Amino acid sequence: MNINSVPAFDVRSPAQAVEALPYLLSFRPDGPDGMVFVLAHDTLHNRPLFSQKFELPGGEDNPNEAAHHMMHSTLHRLEKFATGPAAILVYLCARQQDTGDGYAAMTRHRAVADALLLSAETHGIDTLAAMFVTPTHWWVYHHDNPNFRHEGMPVDGPDNPGVVTMNARAVGIPTPPSQAAISAAFEPVTGEEAEAQRAAILHAVGERADRVHASSFDTETERITAILDRLLLGGGDGTPLESLTPGETAELIVGLRHRPLRDIAIGYIEPDELARARELWALLARRCASATTTFVAAPLTLAAFTAAVAGEFPAALVALERARAADPRYLLAQLLMEQIVMAGSVDQIADSIRQEREERLRGRDS
């Protein structure tokens, strides 16, 4: 499996390029956050080279600075490939809040598109097209489009299949899942539940500090590991995970910031544990009560790894992107992202983790 690769069929028009976008991303871009997606193409051999994703600049961002960063990064990768003539295709993917009025959103983001086109020219990069895409419609910036409509051109896809979708089905490529549906599993709790959870996390931080001061980090790690073993090991004790109290989940959330516990937690990947582990990590991510707290990086990364072990790489990539957005310095998320994108598998990492788990369990039972 090669993540972010073009399916094994031709893309010959802007409409087909838009229809191919979910296959390039490995999910349908209908999630809450927008993005700039850059596809580099070898024009001499008519083949894709690589793709890159960037955050879609907002109104408070300087579009020229953002565009310079994106094009500088793209040029750096192009130079690594040492290829012949190359050009890029630029997609501006709408935020979920933009989809109600796509034309107005397209207009709002025109400054970013203009800056990207200008920066690409400055960097000596040819641009095939710059397009604005919502889940239902698309527009092209600064390119002739004889079928232009104010309301945008309809997006071909699963419910409105065009050439790309039909060819993908013919060769057995599955329909990419919805990014919004994947993201919903990790959305933080809100309202009174969020307030209770935040208070529980703050209390758990103090309680953990007191216990560590009275004993040691190792003793605290062993204590939380016993809780995880009870909930997950060999399928767990059957406790309904949703019934865990704010205090119980806060204790786990705070504990997982400690790397030794996180490295133990990543080991619950056996067939009888996997579904329940995924449920627990997603629950903890939601009960962090915020998508930006650094506490959420650990459960999201664990959720991503278990998704990848289950073969659900789109879900893994979405979770890892959220983890890295919350804590850009979280190295395990970066490592897993690179492994999935480059190798299309986490088997090597999983094998190493299983060996460490076996040693831990042998030491516990001896």
The tens digit of pLDDT for each residue in 96-122 reads 777 778 889 999 999 999 999 999 999
Please state the length of the chain.
366
Beta-carbon contacts of residue 307 (< 8 Å; ≥ 6 apart): 278, 313, 315, 316, 319
Q: For residue 28, give the nearest of 166, 134, 168, 163 by alpha carbon.
A: 134
pLDDT tens, residue by residue, 39-84: 888 777 777 778 888 989 987 889 999 999 999 999 988 887 766 7
Whether the model clears a pTM of 0.85, i.e. scores above it, the answer is: no
The pLDDT, as a whole number, for residue 1 is 34
The pLDDT, as a whole number, for residue 83 is 65
The pLDDT, as a whole number, for residue 227 is 97
Work out the pLDDT band at 332, boundaries 50, 70, 90: very high
Q: What are phi and psi of 220, to 5 degrees?
A: -65, -40
The pLDDT, as a whole number, for residue 2 is 40
Q: For residue 284, give the nearest of 335, 235, 319, 234 by alpha carbon.
A: 319
Neighbours of 188 (CB within 10 A): 17
Work out the pLDDT band at 5, boundaries 50, 70, 90: very low
Q: Which helix (H) or strand (E) holds 356?
A: helix 347-365
CA-to-CA distance for 133 and 140, rounded, in angstroms? Answer: 9
Q: For residue 308, give the nearest of 332, 344, 353, 259 by alpha carbon.
A: 344
CATH code that applies to domain 14-177: 3.40.140.10
* Domains of the chain by residue range: 14-177, 185-365
Q: In the structure encoding, which two tokens stand for residue 351, read together?
A: 């094998």
The pLDDT, as a whole number, for residue 97 is 74
Please report the sign of the dihedral spanned by the C-alpha atoms of residue 285, residue 339, residue 260, residue 357: positive
The pLDDT, as a whole number, for residue 10 is 63
pLDDT tens, residue by residue, 256-305: 999 999 999 999 999 999 999 999 999 999 999 999 999 999 999 999 99
Q: What are phi and psi of 110, to 5 degrees?
A: -60, -35
pLDDT tens, residue by residue, 182-225: 999 999 999 999 999 999 999 999 999 999 999 999 999 999 99
